[in-house]
A and B are shown apart, each in its own frame.
Chain A
Amino acid sequence: MKHFKGIQASPGIAIGPVYLYDPEEFLVDQRRVHPRDIPAEESRLRDAIAAVAEDFAATRAHVEDVLGKEHAQIFDAHLLILQDAALLDPTIARIRDEARNAEYAFWTTFRHLRRQFEAIQDDYLRERGTDLLGIEKRVLAKLCNWEKAGLDRLPHEAIVVARDLMPDDMAHMQPDRVLGLITEVGGPTSHAIILARGLEIPAVVSVVHALSEARMGDMAIVDGQRGHFILHPDRETLAHYRRLSKKLRARKAGLVDSRDLPAETTDGVRVALQANVELPNEVHSAMAYGAEGVGLYRTEYLYLAQNTLPDEASQVAAYSQMAERIAPQPLVIRTLDLGGDKMSHVLNTQPEMNPFLGLRSIRLTMEHRDLFKTQLRAILKASAVGNVKVMFPLISGVGELREALLVLAEVREELTREGVPFDDRCPVGVMIEVPAAALVADQLAREVNFFSIGTNDLIQYTLAVDRGNDLVAYLFEPFHPAVLRLIKRVIDAAHAQQIPVTVCGEMAGNPHSGLLLMGMGVDKLSMTPSALPEVKRAIRAVSFDQLQSLAEDVLNMHVIAEIRARITHAFSEEDDAGEARGQESVRPSTHKNAAQA
């Protein structure tokens, strides 16, 4: 059994045989062509190019349907290359003057082009240029009559393992044959992965050495819940994942039962369950799982999905569409929450020694005021068509908050002057994810309409642990007394000012920690849509009395193990599989079980 750790990109579990998807290098043969065959050779070239252009046009249309116009535009560049004289003229010349076969002439032209592109100094422009050269293989495939075994012609259901996936690979795949996806490179925000999530195909990216270690037909598991890829699972692991997969499917099937029921304890106390979403198509599943609105709408994908900053119009369109779809339920839009390290493709950001403590999130948007204002304008415009709330991330104190509020006030004034309609009372909230903010929560609570606790970052910053670092990830501990105390403090401070508190970190989506938070007084829990049914089921099985006394007990405990034991004991009647999984998702795996076994 081999265990690989990657980045979780699309949730779900897939079990099945591996299909290696690795478009190979072509071996192009070189032939002399008889003079009378030269015209035929030329038309072979033109036919091949026309056929590829046709494929691309079809893919473009498909991608535009699924992902929208912006995403489809990249295919325009490909189509233009196919008509480009810089490509055609030298190729035709080689066929005519040197009497070479079409594939060799074409290959030679590309070799020259590639060399010129590789000499470009600017990293970004060089990479974009070489990206475009990928079209070479498609034309050669047509010329050589070599049918690439694309994802549209998988021989059987399989887990696809690839170096990287292009949008057009995904656009043409048969979703019913692709059980899961593994890529060696590429991030969770690549176009292909966005598509995979939309299609609910489990995916893990950045799995190093996946291609060299896996062979065609190897039994494998994609754990899209945790970002793992397992080759040759042993019987025990296989059985574990079969159970988990069955459970996930059953939960999905059973969600309809609880969708319209309130998240209410046996003694009638309610909490609002909301969804965290990023992509427009996730709203479907959020609604299907009975979410009472969106407690966290991450806007980062708009900034990462393309190589230019999103303009106001495209943001208004994205926010309005989502606000309309879930109205009258609320949509909490978080302003851009990225580090400068993720924005170097569109902003002139400097590399930082310590990006997590650096120019990120609200600090970055305050620094790039135009970007911030554009986003705030778009959010306010969307507030005209739905129940929109705006939320600032990474706020650390009142001074910073007031500066951000000032920018918001400027934007409101602008819109009022322009006569643009927006919700004048659009509520404003802050994310509490910096310990400093938790400590001055009483001060912050006087300035805003709601709090939302981002537990992931709050835990990392409080415990000084990077959970992505295997060496210390075991220290990432939601039930650390320091974390629980900070959360309690925030809840009390908010309630003293009569403002509601949401928790939108992973703690909310785990039944155990979610219930504990409810006992501590949290008003809303916002989580990944697929976690909603289980949390709701857990809430409906307990009394609020029980939860309050649990919270009280736990807050007085000193030792994490003791706290965990108390919580486990409180829910011991709960199903055991749920408990095991619950702990997994709230606690990262330690490096021990993530290493190759």
Chain B
Amino acid sequence: MQEQRAIVKNELGIHARPAALLVQAAAKFTSEITLKKDGLAINGKSIMGVMMLAAEAGSVITVQAEGDDAREALDHIVKMIESKFD
């Protein structure tokens, strides 16, 4: 399992639209993807889960990936979060 930390940079945090983009991206990988924040761990392929993280601007998320494409998945998702989901 690999993990990496990401800081949420968009001003409104991960609300519906970024959450949708994140989940859509996560779904493209076969690895299991988990996001953690404040002791809460959620499935990165679940939009409900991602919304429940309540990741406001400035919060730190730990992204974990486990599987064949774990490295790519991790890179992709961390980059997405840190580039404000552009």
Question: Which residues does A use to contact B, with CB under 8 Å?
Answer: 73-74, 76-77, 80-81, 84-87, 113, 116-117, 120-122, 124-126, 128-129, 131-132, 306-309, 311, 345-348
- 0/1 string, B28-56, CB within 8 A of A gives 1: 00000000000000010111110110111
Counting CB contacts under 8 A, is B10 at the interface? yes
A116 x B52 contact (CB < 8 A) = yes
A-B contact pairs, 19 of them (CB 8 A): A73-B17, A74-B17, A77-B19, A85-B46, A86-B43, A113-B48, A117-B51, A121-B54, A122-B54, A125-B12, A125-B15, A125-B51, A128-B16, A132-B48, A307-B12, A307-B15, A308-B17, A346-B11, A346-B12
Residues of A within 8 A of B46 (CB): 84-86
Which of B20, B23, B54 is A120 in contact with, Cβ under 8 Å?
B54
A77 to B15, CA, bound (A): 10
A129 x B43 contact (CB < 8 A) = no
Residues of B within 8 A of A131 (CB): 16
A81 x B47 contact (CB < 8 A) = yes
With A77-B17, A125-B54 given, is the CB distance from A345 to B24 under 8 Å? no
- Most chain B beta-carbon contacts within 10 A, residue among A80, A309, A346: A80
5 more contacts with CB within 8 A, not counting A85-B46, A307-B12, A308-B11, are A77-B16, A85-B45, A124-B56, A125-B12, A346-B12
Q: How far is the CB of A85 from chain B (nearest CB, A)?
A: 6
A74 to B47, CA, bound (A): 13
B54 x A80 contact (CB < 8 A) = no
With CB as the reference atom, state the residue of chain B lying closest to A129: B51
A124 to B57, CA, bound (A): 11
Q: How far is the CB of B30 from chain A (nearest CB, A)?
A: 15
B17 x A348 contact (CB < 8 A) = no
Q: How far is the CB of B49 from chain A (nearest CB, A)?
A: 5
With CB as the reference atom, state the residue of chain B lying closest to A346: B11
Which of B10, B16, B56 is A122 in contact with, Cβ under 8 Å?
B56
A125 to B16, CA, bound (A): 8
Q: Which label, helix, strand, loop or mixed, suits the secondary structure of the A interface?
A: helix
A307 x B17 contact (CB < 8 A) = yes
A84 to B45, CA, bound (A): 8
- 0/1 string, B1-33, CB within 8 A of A gives 1: 000000000111111110110011000000000
Residues of A within 8 A of B10 (CB): 308
Which of A125, A306, A309, A348 is B13 in contact with, Cβ under 8 Å?
A125
With CB as the reference atom, state the residue of chain A lying closest to B42: A86
A129 to B43, CA, bound (A): 16
A134 to B48, CA, bound (A): 13
Residues of A within 8 A of B13 (CB): 122, 124-125
A535 to B43, CA, bound (A): 61
Residues of B within 8 A of A117 (CB): 51-52
B15 x A86 contact (CB < 8 A) = no
With A77-B16, A77-B19 given, is the CB distance from A84 to B56 under 8 Å? no
Which of A77, A306, A307 is B47 in contact with, Cβ under 8 Å?
A77
A80 x B47 contact (CB < 8 A) = yes
Which of A86, A113, A132, A345 is B16 in contact with, Cβ under 8 Å?
A132
A58 to B24, CA, bound (A): 19
Q: How far is the CB of B5 from chain A (nearest CB, A)?
A: 20
Residues of B within 8 A of A347 (CB): 11
Residues of A within 8 A of B17 (CB): 73-74, 76-77, 306-308
Q: How far is the CB of B18 from chain A (nearest CB, A)?
A: 9
A270 to B15, CA, bound (A): 53
A585 to B16, CA, bound (A): 40
Residues of A within 8 A of B16 (CB): 74, 77, 128-129, 131-132
B15 x A124 contact (CB < 8 A) = yes
A73 x B20 contact (CB < 8 A) = yes
Residues of B within 8 A of A113 (CB): 48
B11 x A86 contact (CB < 8 A) = no
A80 x B24 contact (CB < 8 A) = yes
B54 x A86 contact (CB < 8 A) = no
Q: How far is the CB of A518 from chain B (nearest CB, A)?
A: 46
B15 x A128 contact (CB < 8 A) = yes
A37 to B65, CA, bound (A): 39
Which of B23, B56, B86 is A80 in contact with, Cβ under 8 Å?
B23
Residues of B within 8 A of A126 (CB): 54
A124 x B12 contact (CB < 8 A) = yes
- Most chain A beta-carbon contacts within 10 A, residue among B43, B47, B49: B47
Which of B23, B45, B52, B56 is A129 in contact with, Cβ under 8 Å?
B52
With CB as the reference atom, state the residue of chain B lying closest to A347: B11
B51 x A348 contact (CB < 8 A) = no
A131 to B20, CA, bound (A): 14
With CB as the reference atom, state the residue of chain B lying closest to A75: B20
A120 to B16, CA, bound (A): 14
- Most chain B beta-carbon contacts within 10 A, residue among A74, A86, A132, A311: A86
A309 to B24, CA, bound (A): 22
B43 x A85 contact (CB < 8 A) = yes
Residues of B within 8 A of A311 (CB): 86
- Most chain A beta-carbon contacts within 10 A, residue among B10, B23, B48, B51: B51
Residues of B within 8 A of A129 (CB): 16, 51-52, 54
Residues of A within 8 A of B23 (CB): 80
Residues of B within 8 A of A81 (CB): 47-48
Residues of A within 8 A of B20 (CB): 73, 76-77, 80
